Amino acid sequence: MLLEVESLNLWYGEKHILKDVSFGIDAGEVLCIVGESGSGKSSILASIMGLLPKYAKVSGSVKFKGKEILGLAESEYRKLRGRYISTVFQEPSAYLDPLFKIGTQIEEAYIAHFGKKGAKQKSLQALKDAGIEDAERVYRLYPHHLSGGMKQRVCIAIATVCDPEVVLADEPTTALDVSVQEKILALFRRLRERGKAVIIVTHDFGVVAEVADRVIVLKDGQVVEQKDVFSIFDYPDHPYTKELLSAL
Ligand SMILES: Nc1ncnc2c1ncn2[C@@H]1O[C@H](COP(=O)(O)OP(=O)(O)OP(=O)(O)O)[C@@H](O)[C@H]1O
């Protein structure tokens, strides 16, 4: 397994948020984490990325290529984030800095790990890989010049410019028009073809049907079902899974 989460538990004060969560993902796979709002989906991603608030208490294990990463020092997490494991967020407008050109923001992500040399070329390539054909032009624009779908492509370029092995995405299409959602999901399928391990958090089984190889269903911080995508639609076991599916 490229990334392996084992018996992950998370508490905020007295509140037990994640309860013995275990799953793994290999290169070239898309795993969807499905569950209602508040079930703990984003908390799983935050635990993997080392982005939990200080008052959070965690136990268990998160291994990347066999090496424990849960509880690393912030300086160590910084070496991982963006370079080996990176994240695409729900709201591209909130993530992009309105004051800086697109090119600058992608380059910054690259320079943090590799230095200035080759940064522009890599950034343009990342934009093209994210489905932006006129990359040279978009490179010089500011975020407010772009549509929501284009901004999310830029965020994917930022997340992939260092060629990470794992890409995490938290509701990456929720803020977008239905017409562009499909195109963004196609990009995640392309990441899988490029050998990335992709974890997508969603509450939407429509998204699952479009991209997932495997699915874990989370309820109140617990994994209640874990299956390949065909089985989850054809033979859902848990009543909660059936309930989520009936909303589709
Ligand atoms: N920083 C925090 N401090 C305290 N409680 C938190 C914090 N972040 C999340 N929680 C709580 O943890 C629980 C799980 O939240 P989380 O955001 O992981 O769920 P989610 O399934 O991703 O929901 P959503 O789809 O709404 O983002 C919720 O009850 C939430 O209120």
ipTM, 2 decimals?
Answer: 0.95
What's the pLDDT score for residue 136? 97
The domain locations on the chain are: 96-163
In this predicted model, what pLDDT tens digit does every residue of 190-232 receive, in sequence order? 999 999 999 999 999 999 999 999 999 999 999 999 999 999 9
In this predicted model, what pLDDT tens digit does every residue of 66-102 receive, in sequence order? 999 999 999 999 999 999 999 999 899 889 999 999 9
Cα 38 to middle of ligand 1, angstroms:
5
Cβ of 57 closer than 6 Å to ligand 1, yes or no, is: no
**Closest C-alpha to 136, from 123, 147, 145, 149:** 123
The stretches of the chain forming alpha helices (DSSP H) are 41-49, 74-80, 92-95, 102-114, 119-129, 135-139, 148-160, 178-193, 205-211, 229-234, 239-246
Is the entire prediction scored with pTM above 0.80? yes
Which residues lie below 8 Å from residue 130, measured CB to CB, with a gap of 6+?
153, 154, 156, 157, 160, 187
Cβ of 42 closer than 6 Å to ligand 1, yes or no, is: yes
Cβ of 160 closer than 6 Å to ligand 1, yes or no, is: no
**Closest C-alpha to 167, from 20, 9, 27, 15:** 27
Atom of ligand 1 minimally distant from the CA of 55:
3
